Amino acid sequence: EDQVTQSPEALRLQEGESSSLNCSYTVSGLRGLFWYRQDPGKGPEFLFTLYSAGEEKEKERLKATLTKKESFLHITAPKPEDSATYLCAAPLTGGYQKVTFGTGTKLQVIP
Amino acid sequence: KAGVTQTPRYLIKTRGQQVTLSCSPISGHRSVSWYQQTPGQGLQFLFEYFSETQRNKGNFPGRFSGRQFSNSRSEMNVSTLELGDSALYLCASSLQGSDTGELFFGEGSRLTVL
C-alpha cells in the first residue's frame, strides 16, 4: 500500500540549531514528492517538488533532498518564524490520480 | 493573482443538520480537490473535480458529496452531520490535477458539530 510516513511528530529547536525532518515513502514508481508548510489555522503552502533520487532544492533556510526511499527537509539556522507544521505528500500509483499526505512534523523554534 | 477562497471560514452546526462549503479556485485552474484535516488523521482526501467531472474519491461515506460548476467553483456538502465530522475542510486548486504538482490551498472552513 502506498504510504508516506513523517518523523519526528514534533521537534523543538533553539534558534540557530540546525536539524532535519524525515519523510519516508513506500510509493512505487514515484511521480514526485511534495513538501508543504502549514501555519496554524491556515491551509498548507507549497514549498518544493522533487522528482528523482539525488535531486535537491533550496529556499532560504530550507533544503529538500530525495533518495530512493526517503526525503529530508534540512533546516539550517532556523528562526522563530520557521515554526510551523511541515507536510510531505506523494501521488499514489496504480492509476489513482490523487495525493497522499503524511501526518506532518510540528516544528517549534525557540528564540 | 487572487488565491483560493473558501467560505464560510467558520461554522457551527448540530448533529443531523447538513452543511455546504464553497471553494473558488485560482483563475484558470480546472482542478479542485477537497481534504478533511483532523488532529488525529491529518489530511484525508475527500474528492477531486476536474472540469466539472469527479476525478477521484476518497474513503468517505456517501454523506459527503461535491460538485463543480462551469466556472470551476466547487461546493462540498455533508448531510446528516455527526460529531466526528468536526474538522478543518480544505480545498486546493491546481492547473492539471492534484497528482501532477503544486497544490494551492485555501485557508479552510472550520466546521464544529455539536
Q: What is the pLDDT of residue A97?
A: 65
**Among A68-77, B42-51, B98-107, where is mean pLDDT lowest?**
B98-107
For an interface test with A, give the residue of B99, B105, B111 to mutate (most A CBs within 10 A).
B99
pLDDT by residue (tens digit) across A97-106?
Answer: 678 899 999 9
**Burial category of B51 from C-beta neighbours within 10 Å (exposed 0-12, middle 13-18, buried 19 and up):** exposed
A34 touches chain B (CB under 8 A): yes
The separation between the first and the last C-alpha atoms of chain B, rounded to the nearest angstrom, is 37
Calculate mean pLDDT across residues B5-29. Answer: 97
**Is B90–A96 a contact, with Cβ atoms under 8 angstroms apart?**
no
Q: What is the pLDDT of residue A27?
A: 75
Which 46-105 residues of chain A touch chain B by CB within 8 A? 46, 49, 87, 89, 91-92, 96-104
The 3-state DSSP class for residue A89 equals: strand
The cell numbers describing A29, all together, are 514508481
More confident residue, B59 or A58: A58
Residues B107 and B10: beta-carbon distance below 8 Å: no
- To the nearest whole percent, how much of chain B has pLDDT over 90? 83
Residues B98 and B42: beta-carbon distance below 8 Å: no
- Closest CB from A31, A43, A96 relative to B105: A43
Q: What is the CA radius of gyration of chain B?
A: 13
- To the nearest whole percent, how much of chain A has pLDDT over 90? 76
A41 touches chain B (CB under 8 A): yes
pLDDT by residue (tens digit) across B21-54?
Answer: 999 999 999 999 999 999 878 899 999 999 999 9
**Is A44–B108 a contact, with Cβ atoms under 8 angstroms apart?**
no
* DSSP codes joined into one string, A48-76: EEE-STT-EEEETTEEEEE-SSEEEEEE-
- Residues of chain B in contact with residue A102, where contact means CB-CB under 8 angstroms, are 42
pLDDT band at A94 (very low <50, low <70, confident <90, very high): low
pLDDT at residue A12 above 80?
yes
Calculate mean pLDDT across residues A4-22. Answer: 96
